[in-house]
A and B are shown apart, each in its own frame.
Chain A
């Protein structure tokens, strides 16, 4: 009991480290431009980070199983494009059905990847790289080279991103719901635990009766479904759908997970950490344009901050583990 308390305390501390980093960053930005910590700007920032959070949570589970999904940017674009084309053809369609359609398309993409990884046994990075190309090509193909523009979309559809539920912007609301769901799913369900067990030690997990293929199918389908949802939200938020939507966004999502302490080697990753990782990127995206840095320096600064955050995280983890190792009984 003592031990698990300690570990819990320590891992909390890790998230605190990241939180501290974000707060320091926020103070620095606030010092340089007082417009940063205003209600209006914070709500902009939350809205802009919501989609990233949704995707990062899905990606966390994929990474926990030692997988990776590079196809999410393309999946997002494809489901966004299909949904946009559908609502422009049937303007009467309820926004709920539009969201559902996006989720279905995304899940279908996820199922394909899941099959390739679990049943066919292709390595996730390669399977998703191939699918990334294929889905992106299909997006251009479905859209016929044209974009779906704001005037072609019904107001109800564009309203998804601008409306409020219980006084909270819908995008943020959906992100919160998904966050709560993941928090519960990961910590309190057997399947959630199985995902982590499989990630930290596939062999013993299989011996102890976990159906690995089922878990792989689940995480990739979930990831696909979330990408589909994000696709609808993206198109609704920007009121435009184009073939190269979210090109390269998968790397941003993976970066958010890594910053949040998810290990590429599987088994490790916390919902709160991922949330903080996404926030850190959100603060950077929102804050760097606010402080008057040259646009040419933005990318370099971002790179340095990400590298520092990763190393900072690792140093803390190292220290913590050194302490732990003395106590841990294996």
Chain B
């Protein structure tokens, strides 16, 4: 099992190929499209399908680094607060007189700093789990956002800024284009580079990879910083969509992101899953929500549907995985305790 995950190169087998979780997700997307277009006359046209991506892709940028974090058997629940803080700082520095271009750079820096701080604490205090660290910083980051902006909202951005949230390149929303580019980038990073292989190695067995020369700390730092940067990108798109911001934006985004990653077949037991799965899951959840929204289903039903879908799909993964990955990976995680 572990050799399979550490070394991605494997003998091609049709059976294994067809049994991949990603096919299941593609099937789900097709089913959702068929059902949506049969229940709502407004779904199946190009504008509707492409505009829909604008409503759910903003938080999807965080999915990329979250996949890596969860493959490394960590988690980051501070991303929602990072989005809020980055967005608030961007708006404040802009209104303090900084040009918008620089304010965007500041936003990215703040995001990177938040992520780096998480990673730093984790690396410095190895016995602390990521849940604790990011739970504390989740409260802290949003708290700082409240200190900065108090009960105000801040906006008045130049008109070109709204392009991030509402702009098109040709007929395609800008956000979708950027998402696809970044998706390809991150997929290559995870699946085709030494760095990506090391991420898997850390997830399968941190101690072993440390002994075999993987710079575990450095990789963790990089990945957590990436999470902060992606949260800042989310902040840019979200702020552009709203035209203004306040400290309570992006509430509970972390749980939405984790749900997408989990649905994408990435196991929190570490070492498993593919970028493609998570990317497909973004569209599964997004179009499901959008389609149910088009028939004006009440919010409470939507909650139930998404919760059940999440559990059901993970159960299907379990049927597929033979052997007890749970116990084997749990024994690995002792590295932290001892």
Contacts and interface: CB of A to CB of B under 8 A. Distances in A.
A154 B142 CA distance: 40
B259 A129 contact: yes
A310 B135 CA distance: 11
A101 interface: no
B333 interface: yes
Contacts of B131: 68, 254, 258, 264
Contacts of B129: 263-265
B267 interface: yes
Nearest to A243: B300
Contacts of A264: 129, 131-132
B100 interface: no
Interface in A136-175: 136-141
A307 B304 contact: no
Contact of A137 (B135, B138, B307): B307
B310 A129 contact: yes
B263 to A, nearest CB: 9
B331 A203 contact: yes
B175 to A, nearest CB: 25
Interface in B100-146: 121, 125, 127-129, 131-133, 135-144, 146
30 contacts: A66-B333, A120-B318, A121-B326, A122-B318, A123-B268, A123-B326, A125-B258, A125-B268, A126-B311, A129-B262, A131-B307, A133-B310, A134-B307, A137-B301, A139-B300, A140-B298, A140-B300, A202-B331, A203-B331, A206-B327, A264-B131, A264-B132, A296-B146, A296-B150, A297-B147, A299-B142, A300-B147, A303-B144, A307-B137, A318-B127
A199 to B, nearest CB: 9
Contacts of B308: 130, 134
Chain A interface size, as a band, is 35 or more
A264 B324 CA distance: 21
B128 A132 contact: no
Interface in A305-329: 306-307, 310-311, 314, 317-318
A13 B313 CA distance: 46
B132 A258 contact: yes
A19 to B, nearest CB: 20
A116 B313 CA distance: 12
